[in-house]
Amino acid sequence: MRLRHLLLVLINSIIFVAFLGHAAYSAWERSAESLRQIQRDVHSLAASVAAGAANELLEHRFDQIETLLLRSAAIGEVMELAVADAEGKIMSLVRVDRDGRAQPIYLPEEQRIEALWQQQGGDQYRALVAIDFGEPIGWVGISASLAKLSEIRHQIWFDSLAAALLTAAVASLVLMLVISQLTRRIEAATEFAEKLDARAGNLLGVPSRIHEIKRLQSALNNAALVLQQRFAALQNSEARKAAVIEATLDSLITVDSGGRITALNPAAVTTFGYSSEEAIGAYLSDLIIPQQHRAAHIEGMRHHRKTGIGPILHQRLEMTALRRDGSEFPVELTVVPFELDGQTQFLGSLRDISKQAALQIEQKRTRALLEQTLKDLAAREHALNEHAIVTIADRHGNITYANAKMCAISQYSSEELLGQNHRLLKSGLHEPGFYADLWRTIAAGKVWHGELTNRRKDGSIYWVASTIMPLLDFNGVPYQYIAIRTDISGQKQTELELAANHERLEQTLTSYHDAQEELKRARVKEVAIGSQIQSSLLFGEVPAELGELSIAAHTEAAQGIDGDFYDFFTFGPSHIDLAIGDVMGKGVSAALLGAALKQQLNRSMTSSLSLAGQPPQPSTLINDVHAKATPRLIELETFITLTYLRVDLDVRRVTHVNAGHTPTILARAGNTRLLSGDNLPLGVFESENYSQSSLDLEPGDLLFLYSDGATEARNPEGEEFGIDRLQQLVGSLHAQKIPARMLLQAVRVHLQQFEQSLQPSDDRTCIAILLNDAEPPGCSSTSIELPWALDQLALLRHEIAALATTAAFDEAAASALVLAAFEAATNVIRHTPQPLPDATLHCRIEATPAGLNVILHYLGAAFEPALTEPDFSGDSDGGFGLYIIQNSVDEVIYDTPTPGVCRIRLEKRRPAAMLPPAQ
Amino acid sequence: MDSPCRRHGLLALLFLCLAVMAPAVHAAPPLVVAVLPQYAADRVQRDWTPALNEVAKATGIPLKLKFYASFREFEAALLKGEPDLAYMNPYHAVMANKAQGYLPIIRNDAEQLTGILVVRHDSPLQNVRQLDGATIGFPDPNAFAASLYMRALLAETLKMRIAPLYVKSHANVYRQVVNGRLPAGGGLRMTLTREPAELQAQLRVIYETPPVYSHPIAVHPRLPVAQRSALQQAFLALGQESGGAVMLVAIQIPVPVSSSYADYAPLAKLGLERFVDLHKD
């Protein structure tokens, strides 16, 4: 088939298919759009009828509705229009007849719009729209004929196809004209090429007038000419190459990509011993590649076939090859790939380098040996020169060589030394026999070792350890001496100094020990001063009793001095204020801040006191302290927790401010509760406003205040003592009516036992304030605190006697009680080891109408007296006291109200005659 | 600058004005014409102006239309004898005659009005008396034959009690009956026959009123007899002139004939005033 015909058929087919496709698509689109348009029209008509009919339907104006429908029926392709009420009952119906006239239809019986709309069929589009008047009040139904749509569709299809066919025909015609020009030129060019081909390389005249064809024909002519010339050149080149290959001394072997030999030159035949006939077609690996390289060779060929990559190509390699007789020899190999008939082939050029290889190995070995030797020598010389002072002298001792170290130590330059005799260096400090001995040794051809002094150019002396070695000639006579020396001046100096230093060291050690002792004494003094500062600056005086209040306070510092502080202010017989605080941190800085805050409290209190001596409200006071102290505390980046508490005994009321301090424990009637506040510590926020809260007190109430050193005490397992445990402990001690001071001691013992340490890990302050029960009528009492010492019991005797007098108690009976109490106290102090260094014995003496009682409280383990008859043998020192006590009072009770606290109660009743008359 | 020429010109202009105004100054005041306010004033104006102009021209009597916003105003005006000439319904002809002695001079000859009661063609009702107590649709309380006259007859002669429901138009009365919304409705024989045959086929007439003459034009007795006669003749003559037929159709008197109170006197005994809704506009 001719190109021209092929192109015409192809292009025409494409154009027709394309235009027809486009026409069909646009016709389909337009038809669909027409349908959509009709649908939209019908819907908008229905909507507009619904809008128009709404009001009329509401007013039941069916005549108006009918008029509206008749008017609307004239629009578009409407076939039927109906309005129905909300239930769907048709109220008005209009139909368009075949002549296009709209007629109202009066249905002989009731019909529903949906029924009517369903029963119709055919080529129609129907729309049903609700008449909405706030709520649906009826329906509008419209049927429109689609008959016109199919007409429109036919028209659209006809138009589109006609337009497409016309356009395609025109396009084909134009293209045919264009293409026939082109194809005619191609045919002319083809004809020319055919002729050129038939003339077998002889050139033709260029007949065409068309530029492109003319150029093409000239190009073909030129190509034919060049090919002819190349062919001739190639023939010459081939002949030359064959001659080179024949004549070359190198073995040339070509193999195909499968590794089979395809050609080899005469040199290869000679070198390997295979004839051309034997070699060609055989595998290279079988013939000339030694066994150890065969696997690598085969893998290399396979890799090249697979990837086209050959790492050994174009390289100059040295390897071994195998002759026919089985001998291996070194070769230099170059492999180059080339294309032959579309197949990759490899040309290997091998040169026998057996002789060169042997020569090279020998040369290399010799050179390496020489280099190593020279290197060793140089290294040794360098090492020697670096390390030692070296000179060489002739047989007369004249210096022929001196190294840099020699010059440096002797201060002579090399020029000054050369040619000089060694005598130049003599120090003159050795005996004359020393040098004679030296010379005797070396002249005899022996090596001399020894230490000697030499003199520098400036006359100073230096020490060297020297080795002098003679070099002997063939006759065994020294002709040269090499002296190798090491500078030992420093060592010699050190030896001398060492002796002197030893003495000085002993002196220094003595004074160091003295200084240590001094330091220890200073520390002890500092701690003592700290404690003094603390007690004077940080802790106010504790008023032990105030009305019905018993107050006890105690503080222990972690580092001898701490940041806990407290202070008391009393206003008259029935008011007392207490401030307890804790400065963040420990040591002197915390103590100073605590002292400063305590001072500020005092200052604020003084400045706020009314003229009548009335103190300010606690919150007012604390807000004043806060205003003064907080800016400074913020600067110092520290803070202070504080509880300020006021007890007013007149109204039995406690008022307190808590600035981030540990909550106060209130123990009452066997229960405990926490009095806490929600204010932040002082020194946190300048804008903080401190508020107070109040609480009525009842007789017997205990207020227990403490620093966090109490709750944060830890046992060796790291467990915290905790507020719950403290609350429980204080509660149980209070429940047993333990006096305030004793209670405080008991708490301390518990904390000590918990921590298993005598020294608290943090500053720890506790204060107990007990509102004592009121004395029953006719009763009086007194409490005293006795130091834990046998010689301090006189006060006990005195107080019992005093109360007995006041209570008009029988003197003899009182003496008996004194005896028993004294005996009991002595026994306790003597036999009960105390866990606290400042432990006390608490004594309460009560006078009641029934008699006189003494109650002793002290720390210790439970005491179980085994009362027996006294042993008067003198072998035992126990038992006698108990006997006395038992017989001196009416009743004695030993008990342990709570673990760690013991109690002895001694009761002495009034003699019968003294009892007041029974009521 | 006061030239004699200019002075003469002003004088001439003054005389010309007087000459033009002279007839108006000397003419009698126009007669007041009242038209039953069935329609809005603009329609009354449109329908009546051509005929009245023609009559005024023929008689030399100036006529002036007066509009009333409601039935009530119209009737009050009649009772006071305000209009000289009035187009009214037959009931008014009775009422106005009693009050002021208005006299009908012209009415339509073509046909008499016959009020009808219709029911659906398949209604079980056979006798009008079966509608006693029923709700019956009427176009308007004051529509004469279809409503006023019909209700008066039902009450006075048939002694029936019915609940009227006014649905604005005759066409709507018929359609509501066909739709079954109303068991029966009052209309006019004339309006029913104008409806499509299909609609008529769905309805059955169950009762009809005796025929009455349609709306007359009446004059107040204060008008001189010569004027009454001239006006009557002018209306009668209107039918003979070219274009007059259109004007007569517009005023709903296509074929004018002479009328007298005798045409309407039989209605007097029905007590129609009780069926008038004076609150209706």
Nearest CA in chain A to B200: A106
Hey, are the CB atoms on A108 and B175 less than 8 Å from each other?
no
Closest CA to B139 of B175, B107, B109, B88: B175
pLDDT at A866: 57
A642 touches A566 (CB < 8 A): no
How far apart, in whole angstroms, are the C-alpha atoms of residue B140 and residue B164?
A: 9
**Residue B20 reports pLDDT greater than 50:** no
Closest CA to A10 of A220, A177, A204, A175: A175
Q: How many helices (H) and strands (E) does chain B have?
A: 10, 11
Q: For residue A447, is it left (φ>0), alpha (ψ between -120 and 50) or beta?
A: beta
pLDDT digits (tens, 9 = 90+) for A266-289: 888 988 889 889 889 999 888 889
- Tokens describing residue A730: 């204080």
For an interface test with B, which of A56, A57, A58, A63 has the most B Cβ atoms less than 10 Å from its Cβ? A63
How far apart, in whole angstroms, are the C-alpha atoms of residue A896 and residue A477?
A: 111
Hey, are the CB atoms on B199 and A104 less than 8 Å from each other?
yes
A608 touches A657 (CB < 8 A): no
The arithmetic mean of pLDDT across residues A118-124, rounded, is 69
B231 touches B52 (CB < 8 A): no
Hey, are the CB atoms on B176 and A108 less than 8 Å from each other?
no
Long-range contacts of A61-67 (CB under 8 A, 24+ apart): A61/B167, A61/B168, A61/B169, A61/B172, A62/A91, A62/A92, A62/B171, A62/B172, A62/B175, A62/B176, A62/B179, A63/B169, A63/B171, A63/B172, A63/B174, A63/B175, A64/B172, A65/A91, A65/A92, A66/A92, A66/A94, A66/A104, A66/B171, A66/B175
Q: What is the pTM of this model?
A: 0.40
Helix (H) or strand (E) holding A706: strand A702-706
For an interface test with B, which of A106, A110, A113 has the most B Cβ atoms less than 10 Å from its Cβ? A106
- Tokens describing residue A548: 């019905």
How far apart, in whole angstroms, are the C-alpha atoms of residue A37 and residue A435?
A: 138
pLDDT at B258: 92
CA distance to partner chain A, nearest, from residue B191 (Å) = 13
**Residue B141 reports pLDDT greater than 80:** yes
Who among B176, B196, B198 is closest to A60 (CB)? B176
pLDDT at A314: 87
Hey, are the CB atoms on B168 and A59 less than 8 Å from each other?
yes
Using DSSP, state whether B248 is helix, strand or coil.
Answer: helix
pLDDT at B24: 43
Nearest CA in chain A to B122: A108
The sign of the torsion formed by the CA atoms of B238, B241, B245, B250 equals negative
Residue by residue, DSSP assigns A745-810 as: HHHHHHHHHHHT-SS-SS-EEEEEEEEPPPPPTT-EEEEEEEES-GGG-HHHHHHHHHHHHHTT--
- Tokens describing residue A351: 């040169």
Q: Among all chains, which residue has been given the structure tokens 């027996």? A: A868
The answer to whether A62 faces chain B, any CB pair under 8 Å, is: yes
Q: Among all chains, which residue has been given the structure tokens 């210096």? A: A399
**Residue B84 reports pLDDT greater than 90:** yes
The Cβ-side half-sphere exposure at A428, using a 13 Å CA radius, reads 5
Higher pLDDT, A386 or B199: B199
Helix (H) or strand (E) holding A437: helix A432-443
pLDDT digits (tens, 9 = 90+) for A523-544: 777 666 666 666 677 777 888 6
Amino acid at A510: T
Least confident of A510-514, A519-523, B144-148: A519-523
Dihedral of CA atoms A593, A598, A603, A609 in degrees, nearest 10, equals 150
**Residue B12 reports pLDDT greater than 60:** no
Q: Count the neighbouring beta carbons within 10 Å of the beta carbon of residue B127.
A: 9
Q: Count the neighbouring beta carbons within 10 Å of the beta carbon of residue A244.
A: 10
How far apart, in whole angstroms, are the C-alpha atoms of residue A801 and residue A778?
A: 18
The sign of the torsion formed by the CA atoms of A613, A615, A620, A623 equals positive
**Residue A76 reports pLDDT greater than 70:** yes
pLDDT digits (tens, 9 = 90+) for A451-498: 888 899 998 888 898 888 888 887 888 888 888 888 888 888 887 788
C-alpha distances (whole Å) from A802 to each of A417, A685, A818, A888 are 114, 56, 11, 19
pLDDT at B257: 92
Who among A63, A106, A109 is closest to B172 (CB)? A63
How far apart, in whole angstroms, are the C-alpha atoms of residue B46 and residue A46?
A: 36
Give A211's pLDDT tier (boundaries 50, 70, 90).
confident
Give A234's pLDDT tier (boundaries 50, 70, 90).
confident
B142 touches B151 (CB < 8 A): no
CA distance to partner chain A, nearest, from residue B148 (Å) = 21
Angle between helices B41-59 and B225-238 (to 10 degrees): 110
- Tokens describing residue A605: 């209190």
**Residue A587 reports pLDDT greater than 80:** no
How far apart, in whole angstroms, are the C-alpha atoms of residue A843 and residue A904?
A: 10
How far apart, in whole angstroms, are the C-alpha atoms of residue A644 and residue A566?
A: 10
